[in-house]
């Protein structure tokens, strides 16, 4: 049975390779009969600052409420972003801070035990970077992946998280870029089922 998939694109530039990767992933899902929704964070108008931490609740902007509804509805969530200074872009961090909130994506019961409100979902992290992928994995220790996978997604109940890295993209020739898009489409076709 085909899955409901949500693509969350963290690159603020709609003319980026990341957006082309998102389109290829969506194409693969569509070819497999799955349904796909897309949230391009760079197109959303919201305050990225969680001004009061968790002390005071801030009403979500309509675009964030809509994105949250898509996150809750999806069975599989794909995060696509470039690696900037060892992490994801600031706008994506702001999105996560504002959307992945207590009582919305996680909670605590009366005995203080964490309750995972996004349990049962799976995810794929796709990261593009200037450095070689092996350098990111072994020298940088997959820092952005660890942050997103273990500190955010696993905490909220999303346990089956896989990652794909496309390194050295700054020097990539057209043939390699086409291969990246083809690989992404192939991953999507498998994950749509």
pLDDT digits (tens, 9 = 90+) for 122-156: 999 999 999 999 999 888 899 999 999 999 999 99
Dihedral angle sign, alpha carbons of residues 34, 67, 159, 127 = positive
* Contact yes or no for 87/93 (Cβ under 8 A): yes
Where does the chain show beta strands of DSSP type E? Answer: 4-9, 35-40, 76-82, 106-108, 114-116, 122-128, 160-166
Q: H-helix or E-strand containing 24?
A: helix 17-31
At 170 the pLDDT is 87
The distance from CA 38 to its chain's CA centroid, rounded to whole angstroms, is 11
Which structural domain, as residue segments, surrounds residue 53? 4-191
- Indicate the pLDDT class of residue 163, thresholds 50, 70 and 90: very high
pLDDT score for 57? 87
For the entire predicted model, the pTM comes to 0.95
List b or e across 52-89, with b for residues whose CB sees 16 or more CB atoms inside 10 angstroms. eeeeeeeebeeebeebbebbeebbbbbbbbbbeeeebb
Per the prediction, the chain carries an average pLDDT of: 95
CATH code at position 125: 3.40.50.360
Count the domains in the chain: 1
Q: What sign does the CA torsion over 166, 42, 120, 84 have?
A: positive
What is the average pLDDT across 178-184?
A: 97
Query: Each residue of 35-62: pLDDT tens digit?
Result: 999 999 999 999 999 999 989 988 999 9
CB 160 within 8 A of CB 115: no
- d(CA 77, CA 157) in angstroms, rounded, equals 12
Looking at residue 193, its pLDDT comes to 85
**Section 161-185 average pLDDT:** 94
pLDDT above 90 (res 1): no
């Amino acid at each position: 049975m085909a899955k409901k998939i949500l693509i969350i694109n963290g690159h603020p530039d709609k003319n980026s390779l990341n957006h082309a990767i998102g389109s290829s992933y969506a194409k693969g899902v569509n070819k497999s009969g799955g349904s796909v929704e897309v949230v391009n964070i760079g197109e959303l108008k919201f305050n990225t600052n969680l001004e009061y931490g968790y002390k005071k609740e801030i009403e979500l902007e309509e675009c964030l409420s809509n994105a949250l509804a898509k996150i809750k509805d999806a069975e599989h969530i794909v995060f696509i972003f470039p690696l900037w200074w060892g992490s994801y872009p600031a706008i994506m961090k702001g999105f996560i801070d504002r959307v992945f909130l207590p009582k919305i994506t996680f909670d605590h019961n009366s005995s203080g035990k964490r309750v995972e409100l996004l349990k049962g979902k799976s995810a794929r992290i796709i990261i593009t970077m200037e450095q070689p992928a092996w350098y990111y994995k072994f020298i940088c220790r997959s820092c952005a992946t660890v942050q997103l996978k273990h500190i955010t997604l696993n905490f909220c109940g999303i346990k089956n998280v896989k990652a794909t890295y496309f390194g050295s993209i700054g020097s990539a020739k057209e043939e390699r870029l086409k291969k990246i898009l083809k690989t992404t489409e192939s991953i999507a076709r498998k994950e749509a089922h």
